[in-house]
Structure 1
């Protein structure tokens, strides 16, 4: 279920990485669930309460593309969207704080014009749906302890050099037994699973046009750009550059 806080936090961190904008998830009872990882712009509980109590349009609204803007104080705003996605997410997402005034002398948080926030809100939906698509096969299956540990380790250390030998040594099991068990339980070889996960992670970084394809390849654990491009093309039928252009 997407409402699992670990998965929600992963989604919010992806969003924050892509937009450099703080995001907070609050349930329908207006209780804080998750915030994106440490940032200078964390909302205080009082600000969250103020934002939600000031919201008028979203109380019973189902359209996930609608966003409402709420002023917390002069030059300090948040955007609120309510998402109800196949009964798996039924929460408020608060984007910000941000300023719609581009004056660095009077603000200490990101400048984002309102028209920009509406597009950024759509990005959140893309990240949620991509995360759901990739994680559903993993979260709905039962795995043995060794395979579960391996998947969790990949999630946390995908950007490092991971090999069958290193994982087998970590688990203290024979590598042939590990390979057979991993393929049997996940339906993929360890190498294919790792590459697929790295490619999915790289999609988040491709949203940032300032990052080169080489930088992205290295950031997610590929040793060189050529191999990264080949695997990306194999899994998506697009090169990383073509995928980036498709997002524009």
Structure 2
């Protein structure tokens, strides 16, 4: 789960339950906190040695309730039960003693298992949403690459490609650059330059003919782009590969 997703999960759990919680890494350091005051009550209540012992118990117990002498209770569960190395959630302090409800958030002991189910359900929802978005990114980017591969020799405009994909062009630019680390224009030019290399090696067509055949609008733009990507001019590349 990504850091921002984890933060969103914790925030939503806090809003639903009104229970503060924090995320602890395997070194027993708090790396995310939601609903706590400063100084952090966990650092005042549980030593790192105690946290280490509680984290070790998670390999055997899915849920641990740790009650202090003054009635404060902390509930510990894994961030992801399948990957204990990610660390754990520490929920609390709260109380299961109704007589302390004016001092601490009150939750009956039998409710906590259901609240933990809620926490994991929120986490699952965010993870699924992230995976669905990534799948959508990959689908559209893959279609865009296929389109460029087929139509590289033709004039390809951003408007035309976005329309083909059924996307707003600004959204398409965002997901394409995120996936390829290149802009649409840079990626298209890269494909065209790669296609031109075989034609240059054949050594028969002029530079202008090759430029036009792979989709560049002029020999000068082809020369500039080729040198930028390859580190030499098309003529120099041809001379080295004939």
In 2, are the aligned partners of 1:98 and 1:111 still within 8 Å (CA)? Answer: yes
**Contact in 1 for aligned 2:17/2:115 (Cα 8 Å):** yes
Out of 44, 56, 81, the residue aligned to residue 59 of structure 1 is: 56
Q: Answer whether contact 2:24 2:89 (CA < 8 A) is retained.
A: yes
Q: Secondary structure at the match of 1:81?
A: strand
Q: 1:54 to 1:181 in 2, by over 3 A?
A: closer
Contact 2:28 2:51 in 1 (8 A): no
* Pair 1:134–1:54, CA change in 2 (3 A): closer
Match of 1:130 among 125, 149, 164: 125
Query: Are 2:5 and 1:10 equivalent residues in the alignment?
Result: no
| Cα distance in 1 for residues equivalent to 2:100 and 2:68 | 18
Aligned residue among 9, 20, 23 for 2:21: 23
Any stretches of 5+ residues in structure 1 without a counterpart?
143-175, 188-248
Q: Could you tell me how far apart the structure 1 residues matched to 2:125 and 2:84 are?
A: 14
Residues 1-248 of structure 1 mapped to structure 2, 5 A cutoff: 2=1, 4-37=2-35, 43-49=41-47, 53=50, 56=53, 58-59=55-56, 61-62=58-59, 66-85=62-81, 87=83, 90-104=86-100, 107-138=102-133, 179-182=168-171
In structure 1, the residue matched to 2:187 is none
Cα RMSD for the two superposed structures = 3.7
Q: What count of residue pairs does the alignment treat as equivalent?
A: 149
Alignment check: 8 A CA contact 2:58 2:64 kept: no
Looking at secondary structure, tell me which structure has more helix per residue: 2
Secondary structure of residue in 2 paired with 1:73:
coil
Secondary structure in 2 matching 1:25: strand
Q: Is the 8 A contact 1:62 1:84 kept in 2?
A: no
**CA shift in 2, pair 1:88/1:74, >3 Å:** closer
Over 3 Å counting, the alpha-carbon distance change for 1:80 and 1:55 in structure 2 is farther
Consecutive unaligned residues in structure 2, runs of 5 or more: 139-162, 177-242
Q: Give the Å deviation of 1:54.
A: 6.1
Deviations 1:184-215 (A, max 9, x none): 7569xxxxxxxxxxxxxxxxxxxxxxxxxxxx
> Which piece of structure 1 moves more, 20-29 or 75-84?
75-84
SS in 2 for 1:84: coil
Q: What is the rounded CA distance, in whole Å, between the counterparts of 1:123 and 1:38 in structure 2?
A: 20
- Is the alpha carbon distance of 1:139 and 1:27 closer, same or farther for their aligned partners in structure 2, counting shifts above 3 Å? farther
- Partner of 1:78, secondary structure, is strand
CA distance in 1, matches of 2:51, 2:84: 26
**Offset, 1:110:** 0.3
Aligned residue for 2:189?
A: none
User: Rg larger in 1 or in 2?
Assistant: 2
